[in-house]
Amino acid sequence: MSRPDTSNAKHVEADDLDDRQLRAVARVTAADKSNGQAVLLNESTTLWMSKRGNRAWQVTREEGNHRGKLRLEYACTCGDFAKNGRIDCEHIFAERLRRGEVIIDGQIDGKRANDAKAGRRPARKRIAPTGQPMRSVQREARVNLPDRLPELIRDLKRVTDREKLATTKRDKHATSRAAALVFKIAAGKSADEMLADYRGLIEKGVLALRKVPHQNTLSRWTNDPRLTPILQQMLRTTSKPFRAIECGGIVDSSKMSQMRSAHSRYVDYGDDQRDQADWMKVHALVGVETLVCMAAKITGTRGKGTHDVNHFLPLVESVQGVFNLRFVLADKAYLSESVVGRLWQMGMQAVIPIKKKHEGLKMKTYYEAYQHLVEWYDKRQADFHEYYRLRPKIEGFFSLVKRVADGYCWSRGRPRKDGAASSSLNCDEPCTAWVNETLCKLIYVNLRLTVQYEIANGYMVNYFADTFFPAIPDQDKLVA
């Protein structure tokens, strides 16, 4: 292809090229060899074709008035430009190279160029440390779950007692009540159907209760705020055996229904037409490798301070000292200078995509940390997405919670006794019954994962041993 005059061209060092620009250089090289790669429609429009010729992107070049000064403005029809309009996509940079507006000085590193063009990686081997296929492990875990679950909940209750959370005489049976609620969620049965199960657990000594609880008694326990910190401690205990495996966490939130009559899909899209219908939101921190729930916080959806970003740092800080996280993944809703800077101070790298037209030049308090994230996202795109590609796994976690535990909060909940309308208070803080039931569901999902990893590794989890560590996978999902 013929090149115009390059006397006023901008010079760029080869070592300073980012991944987009390296792919643009490859496009221009291919266009020099084949006229079919770049099709000139007119003086201001060029059609860049894919390598196979089955896709095309249109790049337009026009003069625009910017505060009284004329300057060249480019636009492209590709998704990258629509998402990140503040920087040139590979097609616009290729057009600048073709027109001679940019000249590259120096030799391009061949390895970096190949990494920028790398395609999809091969599928990960789904083989457990014991040599079994993971499908066989999952099947065996489903078979062993009913027998193993009572033993795990019994140990979980004893460990919680050892933590001395129920110290007063009035609360000495609080852990037994919390364990009974976890059994109910794990069984997925109503209070009437659970009576026979409770009788068998009490006779075997698994559940430390004097008699089978009445149906109304279970409702009263579910509405007991004293059980909430105990369930939170149980959730932390079920995640503790996986602390040697996890080096990265994912933070996100999801809405959950207050009633069984509301379908879980209506939660996200607001199609429920009931008067005074209300939802609650679950903010969770889960592990990248195992999807174990490390910490969770439950809030309303319409009250002051319920935005997701307000709960990011408290979740991460709550697992400090237990999990040694090096990366924390989240979507754009959590992008803020304080989040990126605090993670940097705690020795963690924020893996959050940068918003469109968001350069971070005005950041002052945590400028270095924020600018590092901006440059990582802009210039080393392939390396950034090597980590960020795992963020959607938390959507699978929320789907698992709603699917395994039926996706609903069955507890009716009782109105507050302070004279205010319960519907207005639930916007700011969900009632205790919804919170306790959701925590039981998260505990149950962690217990299911524990049984699966016991079979995959070939030995049993021990909640009493603080030095217990399962086998670390040979191939990490995150690039360390």
| Continuous segment of H or E residues that includes residue 396 | helix 393-404
Provide the pairing of β-strand 349-351 with 45-49. unpaired
Q: Which residues contact 440 (CB under 8 A, 6 or more apart)?
A: 181, 182, 184, 185, 231
Residue with the larger pLDDT of the pair 155 and 378 = 155
User: Does residue 315 carry a pLDDT above 70?
Assistant: yes
Tell me the C-alpha distance between 152 and 404, whole Å: 18
Q: How confident is the model at residue 448 (pLDDT cuts 50, 70, 90)?
A: very high
In tens, the pLDDT along 326-375 reads 999 999 989 988 899 999 999 999 999 988 766 666 677 778 888 889 88
Q: How far is CA 66 from the centre of its chain?
A: 40
Q: How confident is the model at residue 112 (pLDDT cuts 50, 70, 90)?
A: confident
What pLDDT, on the 0 to 100 scale, is given for residue 297? 93
CA proximity to 311, closest of 323, 300, 327, 326: 300
DSSP 418: S
Among residues of the chain, what percentage have pLDDT more than 70? Answer: 80
Among residues of the chain, what percentage have pLDDT more than 90? Answer: 31
What pLDDT, on the 0 to 100 scale, is given for residue 92? 92
Q: H-type helices in 188-263, by residue range? A: 194-204, 215-222, 227-239
Taking residues 46-60, what's their average pLDDT? 88
What pLDDT, on the 0 to 100 scale, is given for residue 15? 85
What pLDDT, on the 0 to 100 scale, is given for residue 235? 95
End-to-end CA distance of the chain: 43
Query: Structure tokens of 392?
Result: 């959607």
Residue with the larger pLDDT of the pair 420 and 285 = 285
User: Does residue 414 carry a pLDDT above 70?
Assistant: no
What pLDDT, on the 0 to 100 scale, is given for residue 261? 44
Taking residues 283-307, what's their average pLDDT? 87
CA proximity to 219, closest of 407, 414, 402, 405: 414
What pLDDT, on the 0 to 100 scale, is given for residue 258? 56
Query: Structure tokens of 356?
Result: 């469109």
What pLDDT, on the 0 to 100 scale, is given for residue 268? 42
Residue with the larger pLDDT of the pair 125 and 444 = 444
In tens, the pLDDT along 196-249 reads 999 999 998 888 888 999 988 988 898 889 899 999 999 999 999 898 889 999
Taking residues 170-194, what's their average pLDDT? 86
Residue with the larger pLDDT of the pair 171 and 471 = 171
DSSP 201: H
Coil, strand, or helix at residue 259? coil
Tell me the C-alpha distance between 163 and 236, whole Å: 12
What pLDDT, on the 0 to 100 scale, is given for residue 431? 80
Q: How confident is the model at residue 413 (pLDDT cuts 50, 70, 90)?
A: low
What pLDDT, on the 0 to 100 scale, is given for residue 395? 93
Query: Which range has the worst mean pLDDT, 75-79, 249-253, 467-471?
Result: 467-471
What pLDDT, on the 0 to 100 scale, is given for residue 270? 46
Taking residues 88-92, what's their average pLDDT? 90
What pLDDT, on the 0 to 100 scale, is given for residue 425? 47
Query: Which range has the worst mean pLDDT, 106-120, 124-138, 307-321?
Result: 106-120
User: Does residue 153 carry a pLDDT above 60?
Assistant: yes
Tell me the C-alpha distance between 191 and 410, whole Å: 11
Task: Report the DSSP beta bridge partners of residue 293.
Answer: 286
Tell me the C-alpha distance between 134 and 455, whole Å: 10
What pLDDT, on the 0 to 100 scale, is given for residue 317? 94
Q: What is the 3-state secondary structure (H, E, C) of 291-359?
A: CCEEEEEEECCCCCCCCHHHHHHHHHHHCECCECCCEEECCHHHCCHHHHHHHHHCCCEEECCCCCCCC
Taking residues 413-438, what's their average pLDDT? 63
Residue 74 one-letter amino acid: Y
Mean pLDDT of the chain: 82
Residue with the larger pLDDT of the pair 80 and 317 = 317
Q: How confident is the model at residue 76 (pLDDT cuts 50, 70, 90)?
A: very high
How crowded is residue 443: how many other Cβ atoms within 10 Å of its Cβ? 29
DSSP 386: H
What pLDDT, on the 0 to 100 scale, is given for residue 350? 94
- Alpha-carbon dihedral 364, 365, 368, 370, rounded to 10 degrees: -80
User: Does residue 192 carry a pLDDT above 60?
Assistant: yes
How crowded is residue 103: how many other Cβ atoms within 10 Å of its Cβ? 13
Query: Structure tokens of 88?
Result: 């040139």
Residue with the larger pLDDT of the pair 141 and 264 = 141
